[in-house]
Amino acid sequence: MARSAIVCDSDAYANRRAWVEEYFDRTAADAWARLTSDAPVSGIRATVRAGRDRMRAALAGWLPADLAGCRVLDAGCGTGQMAVLLARRGADVVAVDLSRRLTALARERLPADLGRGRITFRAGDMLDPSLGRFDHVVAMDSLIHYRATDLVGAIASLAARTERSLVFTFAPRTPTLAAMHAVGRLFPRRDRAPAIEPLAEKTLRDELAALPLLTAWRAARTERVDCGFYKSQAFELVAA
Ligand SMILES: C[S@@+](CC[C@H](N)C(=O)[O-])C[C@H]1O[C@@H](n2cnc3c(N)ncnc32)[C@H](O)[C@@H]1O
């Protein structure tokens, strides 16, 4: 496996990243805070919350039950739900997000007792090599905003500093999703979600297979979660 730190440096990546940061840090921070809390939400958002709960459980279920001694990156951690789940299983989690507001909220929401685990929150880009090396990387619904080339470039960059597995989601390209296109319609215009880039599973597999950097990785499990307005697909890459 290549060990160099590859950074996704296309203009498209940088532009989309700036847009995503603006969206999650300002436009929809309050809506996102509510969605990720126990506060009541509308029927449509309740389906998204339920779907996200299923997806979080699916991704976390692909990691070892006991994560003691493992360094895990929660890449695009939002308000920290996944980070807490994994820390409670003993992981040393680095939870990074572009949004300072969401990482601040994640710190506020941090439960007092994480057992043997711990979480370090960082505001910034998940591809920052200074975050270090990891046993596992989890990127739940954080790469869905990037076009295929940049999503795969980000995966390659993360894989270069990951030892064991990389689990992430992509927005499956389906007729229904294309029609809904997608989570954005959940929100009023003022806090509408930024663009999501639907991706056919075959395209994802082909693009991953074409990357020399990923020859030491193999695609393992995949699972689609389709719950009302929430449609996302989990994908697992494991070090061969
Ligand atoms: C749909 S939210 C999901 C948050 C969290 N993973 C969850 O499932 O609750 C996507 C998050 O990814 C973050 N994000 C997107 N691109 C990122 C990047 N390049 N580096 C760090 N965070 C990123 C966004 O700021 C946003 O908080």
141 Cα to the center of ligand 1, angstroms:
7
CA proximity to 20, closest of 132, 169, 158, 144: 144
pLDDT digits (tens, 9 = 90+) for 206-230: 999 998 878 899 999 999 999 999 9
pLDDT tens, 116-171? Answer: 999 999 999 999 999 999 999 999 999 999 999 999 999 999 999 999 999 999 99
- What lines the ligand 1 site, CB under 6 Å? 17, 20-21, 24, 36, 76-78, 81-82, 96-99, 102, 125-126, 140-142, 145
Residues 72, 92: contact at Cβ < 8 Å? yes
pLDDT of residue 96: 98
69, pLDDT greater than 60: yes
92-97, strands of its sheet edge to edge: 118-123, 92-97, 71-75, 134-139, 162-170, 230-239, 217-227
Q: What are phi and psi of 66, to 5 degrees?
A: -105, 115
Average pLDDT, the chain: 91
For residue 213, the model assigns a pLDDT of 77
Ligand 1 mean position, distance from CA 201 (Å): 21
User: From the CA of 97, how far away is ligand 1's center (Å)?
Assistant: 6
The residues, ordered by sequence, that sit 6+ positions from 230 with a Cβ below 8 Å of its Cβ are 47, 48, 50, 51, 52, 55, 183
Measured distance CA(213)–CA(1) in Å, rounded: 7
228 burial type by CB count under 10 A (0-12 exposed, 13-18 middle, 19+ buried)? middle
Amino acid at residue number 145: H
- Alpha-carbon distances, residue 217 vs 1, 125, 160, 166, 202 (angstroms): 8, 23, 10, 9, 17
Determine whether 171 is exposed, middle or buried from the number of CB atoms within 10 Å of its CB (0-12, 13-18, 19+).
buried
Q: Which of 220, 225, 212 is nearest to 239 (CA)?
A: 220
Mutate to test the pocket of ligand 1, among 98, 157, 187, 233 (most ligand atoms within 8 A of CB): 98
Residue 2 pLDDT exceeds 50: no
Q: What is the mean pLDDT of residues 16-29?
A: 95
Residue nearest to atom 1 of ligand 1 (CA): 141
Q: Ligand 1 center to residue 78 CA distance, Å?
A: 5
Ligand 1 atom closest to the CA of 102, numbered from 1: 27
* Per-residue tokens: 6: 């590859």
| Alpha-carbon dihedral angle through residues 91, 18, 156, 202, given to the nearest 10 degrees | 110
Q: What is the pLDDT of residues 125-136, one digit of tens each?
A: 999 999 999 999
Instruction: Compute, in angstroms, the gap from residue 98 CA to the centroid of ligand 1.
Output: 7
pLDDT at position 10, please?
Answer: 86
Strand partners, 225: 232
